[in-house]
Amino acid sequence: MASTPALVERRVKEDHTYRPLFIDAFATQEITFEKILEAIASYERTLITPSAFDAYLKGDDDAINNAAKNGLKLFINLGCKGGHV
């Protein structure tokens, strides 16, 4: 996501939401870039495809609800899609 490992570590360490969850998941106070990668990989293994979003991208306009469509617009307009290609 166009961030250095040091920046990613700093952001997780400073985030009052992520930090306690991360510590609970890994049973350690040590937050490293490698552990962050492991957490992301663990999450990605839970993803189910093809999904309703995949159907939407293929042209099925009814595959996702309006809230999801609005979330997609926000994701694009905020520039988040640049780190998720």
Closest alpha carbon to 39 in 4, 16, 78, 8: 8
Q: Is the pLDDT of residue 85 over 70?
A: no
Tokens of 16: 């009052």
pLDDT band at 64 (very low <50, low <70, confident <90, very high): very high
**39-54, pLDDT tens digit by residue?**
999 999 998 888 999 9
- The angle subtended at Cα 37 by Cα 45 and Cα 72, nearest 5°, is 65
Q: Which pLDDT score is estimated for 18?
A: 87
What's the mean per-residue pLDDT of the chain?
A: 90
Q: Take residue 28 and report the two structure tokens written for it.
A: 């350690």
Say whether 46 sits in a helix, a strand or coil. Answer: coil
Confidence at 1, pLDDT banded by 50, 70, 90: low
pTM (2 d.p.): 0.62
How far, rounded to the nearest angstrom, does the alpha carbon of residue 46 sit from its chain's CA centroid?
Answer: 12
**Per-residue CA distances from 75 to 2, 5, 56 (Å):** 16, 23, 15
